[in-house]
Amino acid sequence: MPGQPFIEFVDLWKSYGEGEAQVNALAGVNLRIGHGEFVTIMGPSGSGKSTAMNIIGCLDTPTSGDYKFMGVDAGNLDRARRAMLRNLYIGFVFQGYNLLARTSAIDNVELPLIYRGAGRRERKLRAEAALELVGLSDRRSHTPAELSGGQQQRVAIARAIVTEPALLVADEPTGNLDTARSHEIMSLLTRLNEDRGLTVVMVTHEAEIAAYGSRTIRFVDGHIASDVMNKDHAHVS
């Protein structure tokens, strides 16, 4: 997508510790992701991929350099404003699903709308629509303990998209699932990316899963080692 980049890192550093013990998780990374892309991030542990994802998701801020999200200087926003950005524009999917225990599927999906201050009726309608989209309308009153791993992850995806965000950040969403379930989840994410123009940034360890993306970025030692458009991607035109 030409023009203003959706996500932009400019000479971005993230360091932990001080002096001798200082570790650079990200060491001067430059990166641009356009609106509607499906980007997978790979790399060994400690390569900085999780740090990059946390910054993209506005959960963390860079030590130096710029992070621009939708043209906003998100790297220098305070806690409250980043929380607002996350609530309005970003959906999260985690490896461990991270649903609230002993809370029904529909209540879990409604949660982000509560923090947005939406009314009860609007929340019900939108949460039901989101559950329908992930094919779990008939499980709306089930608690996470009563759902399979794949179903839990689909509830988590419903929760992430119920606010109609611009960006979906997924941290190894298939890490706890078997192959069949993993492909179900990936098809769902691909569909959301294609049908709704949802930008997806996903961290994964598995090349097979990464292949669902249109672009794969590989981190090594806080640098981008490779950044390739995925030829196998069935829908790359």
Q: Which of 24, 87, 143, 176 binds other proteins (CB under 8 A)?
A: 87
Q: What are phi and psi of 18, to 5 degrees?
A: -135, 160
Work out whether 129 is an interface residue with other proteins (CB under 8 A): no
Residue 75 structure tokens: 């790297």
CA distances from 231 to 29, 136, 160, 210, 213 (A): 24, 33, 28, 12, 10
> CB neighbours of 183 closer than 8 A, spacing ≥ 6?
none
Does residue 115 come out as left (phi exceeding 0), alpha (psi in the -120 to 50 range) or beta? alpha
Member of 14, 126, 159, 218 binding other proteins (CB under 8 A): 159
Q: Does 116 bind other proteins (CB under 8 A)?
A: yes
Could you tell me the smallest distance in angstroms from the CB atom of residue 237 to other proteins?
Answer: 33
Q: Does 84 bind other proteins (CB under 8 A)?
A: yes
1 in contact with other proteins (CB under 8 A): no
- Tell me: does residue 15 bind other proteins (CB under 8 A): no
| Binding status of residue 125 toward other proteins by CB under 8 A | no
Which one-letter amino acid corresponds to residue 211?
Answer: A
83 binds other proteins (CB under 8 A): yes
Q: List the strands of the sheet with 199-203, edge to edge.
A: 90-93, 167-171, 199-203, 38-42, 215-220, 223-229
Told to check if 117 binds other proteins by CB under 8 A, we report: yes
> Does the footprint of other proteins cover residue 121 (CB under 8 A)?
no
Q: How far is the CB of 85 from other proteins (least distance, A)?
A: 8
Q: Does 114 bind other proteins (CB under 8 A)?
A: yes
Q: Which of 88, 125, 229, 236 binds other proteins (CB under 8 A)?
A: 88
- Within its chain, how far is the Cα of 6 from the centroid? 14
Q: CA–CA distance from 223 to each of 12, 146, 169, 205, 220 (Å)?
A: 10, 42, 20, 17, 5
Using CB under 8 A, pick the residue from 102, 138, 195, 231 that binds other proteins: 102
Is residue 169 within 8 A of residue 57, CB to CB? The reply is yes
Q: Please list the residues that pair with 201 across neighbouring strands.
A: 39, 169
Quick one: which segment of 2-10, 40-48, 93-101, 138-146 binds other proteins (CB under 8 A)?
93-101
Residue 117 beta carbon to other proteins: minimum distance, rounded to whole angstroms: 7
Phi and psi at residue 88, in whole multiples of 5°?
A: -85, -35
| Amino acid type, 94 | F
Minimum CB distance to other proteins, residue 148 (Å): 20
**Given 112, 144, 213, 222, the residue binding other proteins (CB under 8 A):** 112
Residues that bind other proteins (CB under 8 A): 54, 57, 59-60, 79-80, 83-84, 86-88, 90-92, 94, 98-102, 111-112, 114-117, 159-160, 163
